[in-house]
Structure 1
């Protein structure tokens, strides 16, 4: 591969510059490729006029060609490397491969190649790298920010912000780390051009991003219509029938594709069912190991699988031009994010199928994700109050001091860091002492915008008009005449053609799917380590958990494709005795439990929401299993309810909170019964207390877990 030192320096004012750019495009995309006019306009603005530009074009239009060609031309002219801020590992891998085709020496710094970071830093310093791809999270790593980033800002030939809608508060995939890009851009010299690219930005996002990257930003925006996409919606109230229908139709879908789910649990459940029915599929989620993700991406690219069953972890930038279909089992909460995901399909094919299979559980899942958004002001201020200005605290050390779990605490710290209230340093975080205001108005506006987007997604499902035009209007597509509701439809979607998918499902398929999904029972892994920092809260627990719970069991997840809907209905209903069908399933779970020793007694948690349900479950288990019924484990009357999400605070609230009976006379394990278990800490702390009171062992059992 060539670098800037291998060829004579290029004159960027040369009259044949466009032809040189065309030649690079042919190396990148094939001998028949030609630059679009807007591609050349963007390249010329960046390379010749050092402009700042925002390119908003549909997936497959060729945005990456713009920055790779600009990067190569600038390197041939003796300029520094191009820095591309890119959000996903899958996207980075595709970009590095594409760069190599154009003779561009590219390297990436991300969580999947930690062992290579030092070598890559050295290559950047010595000028061996044409393009450096970095994750937004990397921009605030202390070593990278303080040692590598200043050199890049001073010497960069071009800075690219890929998937730039993430910069905007209004973007469907906003990330706090992306806001650091504002600082990076502010530190650039006026001669360093900046390019922002995205396929999914409405008018509000376009204005926001353009303003952030420069006062005189060139905006190049095209139509979002995708002539290869054939959109349809298929509605089932029963998730079992929905899954059976998909299994029956999957072989008829063209080529290979992606099936999106809203949760990790649903991805694994669906992959299991489809595999059982003879389909070659695999689950791909944010919890999938990075090395396995790369293997799965390769399998999809090579058509070795019919589909990857994926969460949004497989989204932006994944490039398979011949991807034949995208199916959503469960609707995303926004038409914008939906369009972004379906844009993976049909980039290099004449036809691709796009099917939405919404479910009654979608709104509940949207509400859950909304509930873990940015916390209220008093919680955020507790983080600032816990930090000092002269001594860094790590996230682990900070966690027990605030009522936030790890992921939400990290999000808050990132936002506060971007706002200048805290600073990340080696060893953790410092309070800068700078004044900080909680932007209540902004968070309320964002919440309102999310509600509007959710309603739009519901409207899309029951739409009678053109589905593609609906999505284009949601993104303020300039190719649609403003205000004209009678614009001709796409002529391809189910509503335009009248060709709605047949929703009949073979009875045997439904039965087989139900049998697979109705298998009750999941393992409930015990907590093995106490949260750090409990001593600061006056709790005498630390290190490895000894004398705790054994591996437990749970009937099902609330997000399960099989048991999920029934468990949600049960928990939404008035508090009544345990239904026979649910109880029978619980007995089946206990019957198949591979315990070391059978329980000899049963004890129920006192449930404030489901006292009858929990008590009758425990009593009937005692009767059918011939177990001693130890009654109910009640909280101490003077002990307040525990609501903390943070692990350390939750354990502190639960410690010594029950009226634990003397159990020295009880021989054999105790079956500890609850309705819902979430973090696992209630079971863990209760089991620790029961063991301390004489129990031989504790076997946790619950009806449901959220995910």
Structure 2
């Protein structure tokens, strides 16, 4: 592999253009229009304040600014990352404010992106404030500053648009007084986009209700022709200006490295991370993989940190700053670190696992190489990628009967119901239920009010054809991602064609264009270290501590689970989403029921050996399984044998298996009466007089284990120690 070139020492910052690309100022520019030239001179002055004395406006930047400031039009700008889309709305803001307009309202999807935008605005002397879930204590002060005319830019998260108080009391005032409305990362509006967010769809209503003459700008770096058309239509303007430019990134050097298994992929990282220039991002598809890889690389001596949507906000902010300050070689991150992160000198991006869309992939790699000559972009695909894609696909908009039943529940209630109150009555998990309600809110079928959700009574049609087309598009994108891995031609050209870039052409830089491929070999020692890390067994499983809402009337339980009915923190061999044991466990559950294999049992024994329990188990009980009796039974009996413990027996499954349930209340109801503890087993538990090791094959929602624990504690077990092969996540 050739040695990466050294970064350029001085470049205009993100919003600007290299002056070498600007037209010479002494060349004829057409007939002189004094007002036009004066405005452009003002715009150039604003840009220099924002991005430095060498900055010059691109022609499309100027076209967009003039459309917003002079013509008060609605515009969609689709340009590559680093082109300078933020310069358009900051310069337009400055010009509009100087001409007496109200503040700019920017709808921005991520807190990290807001922080970067506020910093950029301050460099140009633009006073920016933000309203989001992390600064509620500042809202009153911010609103007072807006009303006093002391704020030039107000950044709002899309989730605020559906907060009842904000939507009904604050938003109308902002919309009435806005000088410019900006929709950042506008592909989120479109359900054809790779990062569709229901809250963004509400913007269509906001835009339709703006006073005449308020300009609107939508921006994105990742939109194909279909998304571009959809967003342009949602701007609620017949003459929306669409400015779409080429998406070439001449600093990116794309490559794919195929390795046979997860061990060799992270071993490859451990042996090649030093060869990657500067600092960068290592993307993973799951939270578990981010932590596994970060742990392995730290053991190899690298300064890295894990980063996901589950990371505490303060830790995320510190990790971002450490990468910005080059204190880290890499952040090992999920897609939570995406649109919102701006570090122009990122030297590399590596994906361990392929995103399910070429568009999403191009958006993520666009973070690299914005202020350096060369950035390495490497994809390490895995055999488990398709399983993870399938999981994400399962979170699509629910089928019509589920939607109709939700609407019926709301109508029959005659009062607002919170999401928690709805969950026991609808067979959907919390996150999917919330997503569905937001879509129904945008469609006018429900409304979010104080106290929860209420039905509007309006007619609503289930757009089956559209949902099926979206699902088909997602499937097509996944096939295209597989094609990207196998393509023998230019990789960047392929990605740009997926984005319908008419200027797509061979880049001359990727591994296929140059014939220079990263080596796909790792040392035996490195592979062994990675294998040891990934096969290190044992995941702690926290017990359920609260009963779900909505089951008190029929099950008689509510609130906190009494300590005398709770399990101790349990253990699992691994997570199904792990890149180590996860692969083995997924294969196990995809195959026929068999007794536990020798190597998997040995790993479970290691989990037990490392378990620092307060008191040794006095016996083993298994949860009888309809689907895997051989697996669960053999696991329980062999553990009792090797631990020289009595095998006390099994719970007996009752009745026929019902439909799969997806949320806590529904799942608890389905297992509450489906498990029986035989009298002889209960007596054996009581006679054992000590903790019980409770064995099952996997934990999905945790309610089967919770119900079984309650029965064992009621039978006299002083403690219950759950042990399973797998947890879902």
- What TM-score comes out, normalization by structure 2 length? 0.93
Q: 1:138 to 1:211 in 2, by over 3 A?
A: same
Deviations 1:458-478 (A, max 9, x none): 000011000000001000002
2:542 aligned residue (496, 521, 525)? 525
Structure 1 residue 363 displacement after superposition: 0.1
Q: 1:607 to 1:21 in 2, by over 3 A?
A: same
2:604 aligned residue (586, 590, 603)? 586
Determine the C-alpha separation between the residues in 2 that align with 1:318 and 1:515: 33
Structure 1 residue 390 displacement after superposition: 4.6
Aligned ranges for residues 174-323 of structure 1 at < 5 Å? Answer: 174-213=196-235, 214-323=237-346
Determine the C-alpha separation between the residues in 2 that align with 1:580 and 1:278: 34
Aligned ranges for residues 133-148 of structure 1 at < 5 Å? Answer: 133-148=155-170
**C-alpha contact 1:256 1:307 (8 A) present in aligned 2:** yes
Aligned ranges for residues 332-481 of structure 1 at < 5 Å? Answer: 332-388=355-411, 390-480=414-504
Q: Which residue of 2 is the match for residue 172 of structure 1?
A: 194
Deviations 1:269-288 (A, max 9, x none): 11111111101000110111
Determine the C-alpha separation between the residues in 2 that align with 1:119 and 1:390: 37
Structure 1 residue 306 displacement after superposition: 0.6
Structure 1 residue 640 displacement after superposition: 4.2
Determine the C-alpha separation between the residues in 2 that align with 1:693 and 1:618: 19
Structure 1 residue 514 displacement after superposition: 1.6
**C-alpha contact 1:642 1:654 (8 A) present in aligned 2:** no
Residue 534 (str. 1) matches residue 551 (str. 2) = yes
Determine the C-alpha separation between the residues in 1 that align with 2:131 and 2:720: 46
How large is the Cα RMSD of the aligned pairs?
1.3
Residue 121 (str. 1) matches residue 143 (str. 2) = yes
Determine the C-alpha separation between the residues in 1 that align with 2:176 and 2:716: 67
Structure 1 residue 14 displacement after superposition: 6.6
Q: Which residue of 1 is the match for residue 589 of structure 2?
A: 571
**C-alpha contact 1:112 1:291 (8 A) present in aligned 2:** no
Deviations 1:451-510 (A, max 9, x none): 100000000001100000000100000213xxxxxx5x2110000000011111111111
Q: Which residue of 2 is the match for residue 502 of structure 1?
A: 519
Q: Which residue of 1 is the match for residue 675 of structure 2?
A: 658
Deviations 1:616-639 (A, max 9, x none): 1111001101111123211123x5
Structure 1 residue 240 displacement after superposition: 0.4
Q: Which residue of 1 is the match for residue 131 of structure 2?
A: 109
Determine the C-alpha separation between the residues in 2 that align with 1:124 and 1:545: 47
**C-alpha contact 2:77 2:218 (8 A) present in aligned 1:** yes
**C-alpha contact 1:228 1:352 (8 A) present in aligned 2:** yes
Determine the C-alpha separation between the residues in 1 that align with 2:267 and 2:417: 51
State the SS of the aligned residue for 1:236.
coil
Structure 1 residue 87 displacement after superposition: 0.6
Structure 1 residue 574 displacement after superposition: 2.3
Determine the C-alpha separation between the residues in 2 that align with 1:608 and 1:227: 58
Structure 1 residue 694 displacement after superposition: 2.7
Determine the C-alpha separation between the residues in 1 that align with 2:133 and 2:487: 42
Unaligned runs of 5+ in 1: 1-11, 481-486
Determine the C-alpha separation between the residues in 2 that align with 1:122 and 1:530: 42
Determine the C-alpha separation between the residues in 2 that align with 1:258 and 1:630: 51
Q: Which residue of 2 is the match for residue 92 of structure 1?
A: 114
Q: Which residue of 2 is the match for residue 516 of structure 1?
A: 533
**C-alpha contact 2:626 2:653 (8 A) present in aligned 1:** no
Determine the C-alpha separation between the residues in 1 that align with 2:489 and 2:265: 24
Structure 1 residue 571 displacement after superposition: 2.1
Determine the C-alpha separation between the residues in 2 that align with 1:642 and 1:418: 30
State the SS of the aligned residue for 1:191.
coil
**C-alpha contact 1:602 1:670 (8 A) present in aligned 2:** yes
Residue 490 (str. 1) matches residue 512 (str. 2) = no
1:550 aligned residue (537, 543, 568)? 568
Q: Which residue of 2 is the match for residue 680 of structure 1?
A: 702
**C-alpha contact 1:99 1:105 (8 A) present in aligned 2:** yes
Structure 1 residue 570 displacement after superposition: 2.2
**C-alpha contact 2:186 2:231 (8 A) present in aligned 1:** yes
Aligned ranges for residues 10-89 of structure 1 at < 5 Å? Answer: 13=35, 15-89=37-111
Determine the C-alpha separation between the residues in 2 that align with 1:679 and 1:132: 41
Determine the C-alpha separation between the residues in 2 that align with 1:574 and 1:149: 57
Between 374-383 and 522-531, report the one with greater CA deviation.
374-383
Structure 1 residue 13 displacement after superposition: 4.8
Q: Which residue of 2 is the match for residue 613 of structure 1?
A: 631
2:622 aligned residue (577, 590, 604)? 604
Structure 1 residue 296 displacement after superposition: 1.2
Determine the C-alpha separation between the residues in 1 that align with 2:446 and 2:40: 47
Unaligned runs of 5+ in 2: 1-33
Determine the C-alpha separation between the residues in 1 that align with 2:37 and 2:369: 36
Determine the C-alpha separation between the residues in 2 that align with 1:635 and 1:238: 38
**C-alpha contact 1:400 1:647 (8 A) present in aligned 2:** yes
Determine the C-alpha separation between the residues in 1 that align with 2:621 and 2:461: 49
Determine the C-alpha separation between the residues in 2 that align with 1:606 and 1:141: 46
Aligned ranges for residues 683-694 of structure 1 at < 5 Å? Answer: 683-694=705-716
Deviations 1:592-634 (A, max 9, x none): 1111111111111222222211111111001101111123211
Determine the C-alpha separation between the residues in 2 that align with 1:535 and 1:528: 16
State the SS of the aligned residue for 1:437.
coil
Q: Which residue of 1 is the match for residue 663 of structure 2?
A: 646
Q: Which residue of 2 is the match for residue 4 of structure 1?
A: none
**C-alpha contact 1:614 1:675 (8 A) present in aligned 2:** yes
Structure 1 residue 564 displacement after superposition: 1.5
State the SS of the aligned residue for 1:599.
coil
Deviations 1:290-335 (A, max 9, x none): 2221111111111110111111111014211111011000000000
Q: Which residue of 2 is the match for residue 154 of structure 1?
A: 176
**C-alpha contact 1:270 1:561 (8 A) present in aligned 2:** no
Determine the C-alpha separation between the residues in 1 that align with 2:595 and 2:507: 53
1:131 aligned residue (133, 141, 153)? 153
Determine the C-alpha separation between the residues in 2 that align with 1:22 and 1:317: 26
